Chains A and B, each alone.
Chain A
Amino acid sequence: MFHYLALAVILFSIGLFGVLTRRNVIGILMSLELMFNAANINFVAFNKYIITDGLTGQIFAIFIIVVAAAEAVVGLAIVLLIYRNWQGIDMDHVNIMKW
């Protein structure tokens, strides 16, 4: 189980690092997907080792994949708007989320 969790931590950390450091919005979205999948690995691992008889974790993982797909749609739509407004998708220039 340790190896699964370690894999998930590594994957989450890579995703988090990507979200925080990437300048490209597409990159950020991709890093987000990594973090989702880290969570999915955790669900599946816990389901296998803690709730031995049942599929709760797997079902949840599938839900997350569905939600991630929907989120990607919204995210890409926002990216499209950002592109139109800033003539680019560099996140450094997007600083309107303030007072």
Chain B
Amino acid sequence: MKQLLILSGKGGTGKTTIASAFIKLSNARAYADCDVDAPNLHLITGWDSEPDKSDYYGLPKADINTEKCIECDVCRQNCRFDAILAEEGYKVDPFACEGCGVCEYVCPVEAITLIPSIDGEWMLYSDDDKVFSTAQLKMGSGTSGMLVTEVKKQMRLASEDAEFAIIDGSPGIGCPVIASLSGVDMVLIVTEPSISGMSDMERIINTAIKFGTKIAVCINKYDIHIENTEKIEDFCKKQGLPFMGRIPFDFNAVKAINNGLTIVDIDCISGLACKAVYEKAMELFKEV
């Protein structure tokens, strides 16, 4: 299965808006939301049926048996994550604990054990010909990369015969983004012509290059700053990055989203421009 991932670096440039339009236009049989920290794709993909849900277990977390604990402080001194709290008896800060097991190892009285911890929930929507894999990370969890990998795995397992998949990514360049990049055939970067959008675009491009992924770029809300739009196009030309086109700012896009629709479900200028970007991107995607 070939996979097209949508990323941006900066948040709010339009990843989900464009991913949902691509899913609609391509009639994708497999798609996923890898922004497990703040998923939104399910809000506009129109599934009426309930998904299959399953608890997601991240790494286990340390737990101190206070009856056995002799308060020797060795665990606290050896924890590199400041996860052992010594206030009215010793306990573990579950948000800081990374489950490394050092405390369990150093405890002289075997008062510490690692216990399984639910770090989120993954959800799989499916019918006769479509599969949508998504998840919600539990607040404060530190294992988003592992959950992203799980979301992609669930999608692949449930739709083995689908030719291609479209994946909505998360902002940033860290752990969940790196996990989402793994194994995809092409990444489409959605940027916007602001100083922030451009700086973040360069950082996500550098990240994708490190992982050897094929990169294409498009600009959303291009008309909020034409000069910057031209700068981005020049940058792409110089870097040899294929440019997929411009999408204008459009109040109708907000209206569509707020009604639970994609921008290609209604008649609007951003939807039309997005269709042109889609056609160009899919042509490139087929060749990869």
Are A and B associated in one complex?
Answer: no
